[in-house]
Structure 1
Amino acid sequence: MTSAGGSDARDRDEEGRARNARPRDGLGRPLPYGAEGVPRQPEGIVRRPEETVAQAQELLDAGKPFHAHEVFEDAWKSGPQEERVLWRGLAQLAVGLTHAARGNAVGGARLLRRGAGALGQWETAQGEDRPYGIDLAGLTRWARELAARVESGGRPVDAPAEAPRLRS
């Protein structure tokens, strides 16, 4: 969007890409400019899979599933093609928990189920149920159970209390 003076009014990064510079809370919701927010995850970080899982678990345990989703998204975008479904599924679980914690029952349940489906798809295609020690069966069960509870209760969930264990 360009203002009447010809300058772009949107926040931009150093490469000129549109970025929202507003601070965010622990669930990734934008706060007013000038408010103190939670530091954002740097984007585009290439991590070893074990580092991805460990960092995402720390963020989930701290009640920051939106930030964990960003860590998984980095792995999804930078990892090998054959692992993209795995990392995308994990990112969907984290953002599903984010929506459920924000009170968006429909979106939360939908993303939790979509993530569970992706993990099942990856497990079937790869024939592996514990990549990098990740408990795919346990995560799939957790996601489906939480989706059902979110839909039936309609109240926001407590993100740190509901955080899954990525490895059992």
Structure 2
Amino acid sequence: MTSSEFSYSLDQISVVLKPFALKLTRDLDDANDLLQDTMVKAFTNQDKFADGTNLKAWLYTIMKNTFITNYQKMVRRATFVDTTENLHYINSSASLVENSAFGEFAIEDIYRAIDRLDEIFSTPFLLYYRGFKYHEIADRLSIPIGTVKNRIHIARKYLKEDLMVYKHVN
């Protein structure tokens, strides 16, 4: 493939790559930057592309790897290492202290909300929560699998409404 054919193919495929870049970055400007980086890398590594292979897949791979590399660089830059004598890492999760009182209140509210559900909804929901598969719940309760799925869905809907206060809590 000649350089001009390769450049033309890159231009045609870039339209398809932009939604993928948006999905990865969730930001239009970052997506445009990622797309540009991908195109630059593809063009500078044109000699590594083998004729007859899937150019679109090759570009997707370049984009994904570029995104991962950029993300890892960003995380490394954001991590501050304290080089004082005690060698304490500020971003270390080992030094994270949390107050578990809020979590205990939330759990109590969740259990109260489940208790307020009708038994026909709470029983399948709790079985599913404990790890049972839909077909196991259906067998255990002697009801059709579609009914199990529906009751679990309704239970989730009621719980979501009942626990709306926790929607914006970190």
TM-score (norm 2): 0.22
Larger Rg: 2
TM-score (norm 1): 0.22
Which one has the bigger helix percentage? 2
Higher relative contact order (CA 8 A, sep 6+): 1
